[in-house]
Amino acid sequence: MRRIRVGLLGLGTVGSGVFKALKSNRDVILKRTDLLFEISGILVRDRQKRREVDGIQPLLTTRFEQLLEQKVDVVLEAIGGVEPARTYIERALKAGCHVVTANKELIAKHGVELDALAQEKGVQLLYEASVGGGIPVLGTLRHLLKSNRIHRFSAILNGTTNYILTRMETEGISFDQALAEAQQKGYAEADPTSDVDGLDAAYKLAILGRLTFEVDVPVSQVSCRGIRDINPWELQLARSLGYRIKLLAQGEQYGEKGPLSLQVGPALLPFSHPLARIEGVHNAVHLEGDIVQDVTLVGQGAGERPTASAMVEDLCNVCCLPADHGCSAGEATLLPVDTGGSRFLFLETRESITQAKVAEVREVLRQIGLAVTDVSALREGKNGLAIILRRWDPSYPAVLLAELGLDVTHVVDRPVFGAVSSSDPALAASVS
């Protein structure tokens, strides 16, 4: 039996989850790994705050130094944000401690230098919980898909927005209503900006992109759009065409050591795509490798227990598995967002769109120079018009608006991911 002294930073949602899991699963962990974890101290902001966990008072401290003085072997960081988390992690690594963190913002912004510091000090820095909550995505990349070249991945990395989109689509409620519901259920923060504007997903995408393609990915260069401008009509029109709209994080490398495209934004997925059916707060990652073909991992992307699970697994793994320092090959070359390809255009209108209007739209599209086969779908609804085009030019919306004289309240265009077709007509029919 090896005793491992653990210093815990933060006792919020994730920190308490870790504390409870280490207690409830102590025997399983000991049996399987021969490791006995002891929490030597817990750093919090406020020692007087009422805590959910009993008998914890003597462990609490507000001074990081005091925690380090306990000669801990591993520091678990569950504070969040860049500072003081970054300083604490640096000091822990320099003191020869392994570090496990759930902090996606910090790892997205400073992962490269912190990884290098860990390597220099001969300790490990693991951050499974920072991407996909309980889903062992990073471990799968590091240890289980070592020999594969992954050339593309697509992922749903933010449970809050996936929950909001699911509710808007199935209940027909507005973004604001769905957000309020998510906040009430504890799925969204009081300040939901980071989730709904896609920033949280962009942090995770930057981390996943770096580990997958083995190049440094500056998070500031990841293209990022959120879901604030999506409304329920758009979701339902897309559905009637055989698609669902998801906040998708995508990464692709063009050729070995080639440039990358990394983007977060709403995109249409055909029903047949493995990510189209990911509902509510679930996250999922779809990887495409040259030997394994495709692998999809699905699970709970956040929440006390799943996130704690990832941190506790990391805690076992810093003690059991060898370090994997990857092999970063310098900074990534990021391509600008591709606005070509297939695209979904949605015009929200004050009036109902009639079949006669649809005929007019077809005529305008023809005049623009689009062939019949370029228009893969055209659907009118009570509150708008949806078109899927196989060829796209950013000028199309303006031309359509000018020609049609519609009273348009909202124009959006979105990329269509995967094969453009109503690949599951039975499903499409069911909601049209």
Ligand X SMILES: NC(=O)c1ccc[n+]([C@@H]2O[C@H](COP(=O)([O-])OP(=O)(O)OC[C@H]3O[C@@H](n4cnc5c(N)ncnc54)[C@H](OP(=O)(O)O)[C@@H]3O)[C@@H](O)[C@H]2O)c1
The three-point CA angle 61-62-63 to 5° equals 95
Cβ atoms of residues 9 and 15 within 8 Å: yes
Nearer to ligand X (CB atom), residue 199 or residue 215: 199
Which listed residue (204, 257, 357, 382) is catalytic?
204
Beta pairing partners, 386: 346, 379
Q: Which residues pair with 200 in a beta bridge?
A: none
Question: 275-314 mask for ligand X (x: CB under 6 A)?
Answer: ---------------------------xx---x-------
Separation of alpha carbons 334 and 258, rounded Å = 9
Q: How many CA atoms lie within 13 A of 291 on its CB side?
A: 6
CA dihedral over 208, 210, 211, 213, signed as positive or negative: positive
146 in contact with its own copies (CB under 8 A): yes
Other CB atoms within 10 A of residue 368 CB: 16
Q: For the CB of residue 150, give the shortest distance to its own copies in the complex, in Å.
A: 10
* Residue selected from 4, 6, 14, 205 as contacting ligand X according to rule CB under 6 A: 14
Provide the minimum distance between the beta carbon of 308 and its own copies in the complex, in angstroms, as a whole number: 6
- When the beta carbons of 316 and 358 are compared against its own copies, the nearer one is 316
Q: Which of 144, 359, 371, 419 binds its own copies (CB under 8 A)?
A: 144
- The site partner of 102 among its own copies, ligand X, none (C-beta below 5 to 8 Å per kind) is ligand X
Q: Shortest Cβ distance from residue 298 to its own copies (Å)?
A: 4
Q: CB–CB of 242/417 below 8 Å?
A: no
148 binds its own copies (CB under 8 A): yes
Contacts of 262 (CB under 8 A, 6+ apart): 205, 206, 209, 217, 221, 222, 223, 250, 251, 332, 334
State how far the alpha carbon of 432 is from the alpha carbons of 233, 387, 419, in Å: 12, 14, 20
User: Is position 21 an interface residue for its own copies (rule: CB under 8 A)?
Assistant: yes
Collect all residues with Cβ–Cβ distance below 8 Å to 366 and sequence separation of at least 6: 372
Residue at token pair 């401690």: 97
Q: How many residues bind its own copies (CB under 8 A)?
A: 57
State yes or no: residue 1 binds its own copies (CB under 8 A): no
Nearer to ligand X by Cβ, of 84 and 96: the residue is 84
Q: How far is the CB of 160 from ligand X (least distance, A)?
A: 10
Q: Which of residues 305-334 bind its own copies (CB under 8 A)?
A: 305-306, 308-310, 312-313, 315-317, 320-322, 326-327
Any catalytic annotation for residue 121? no
- Among positions 68, 129, 168, 400, the unique one binding ligand X when judged by CB under 6 A: 129
Min dist. Cβ of residue 139 to ligand X (A): 15
Footprint of ligand X on residues 69-88 (CB under 6 A)?
78-80, 84
Tell me the Ramachandran region of residue 384: left when phi exceeds 0, alpha when psi lies from -120 to 50, beta otherwise.
left
For the window 277-306, what string marks contact with its own copies as x by the rule CB under 8 A? x-x---------xxxxxxxxxxxx--x-xx
| 134 touching its own copies, by CB under 8 A | yes
Element (H, E) at 37: strand 35-43
DSSP 230-289: --HHHHHHHHHTTEEEEEEEEEEESSTT--EEEEEEEEEEETTSTTTT--TTEEEEEEEE
Q: How far is it, in rounded angstroms, from Cα 218 to Cα 321?
A: 28
Task: State the binding string over 81-120 for ligand X (x if CB under 6 A, else -).
Answer: ---x-----------------xxx----------------
Interface contacts to its own copies, rule CB under 8 A: 21, 24-25, 28-29, 31-33, 134-136, 139-140, 143-149, 272, 274, 277, 279, 289-300, 303, 305-306, 308-310, 312-313, 315-317, 320-322, 326-327, 426-427, 429-431
Active-site residue numbers?
204
Binding site for ligand X (CB under 6 A): 10-15, 43-46, 49, 78-80, 84, 102-104, 129, 133, 302-303, 307
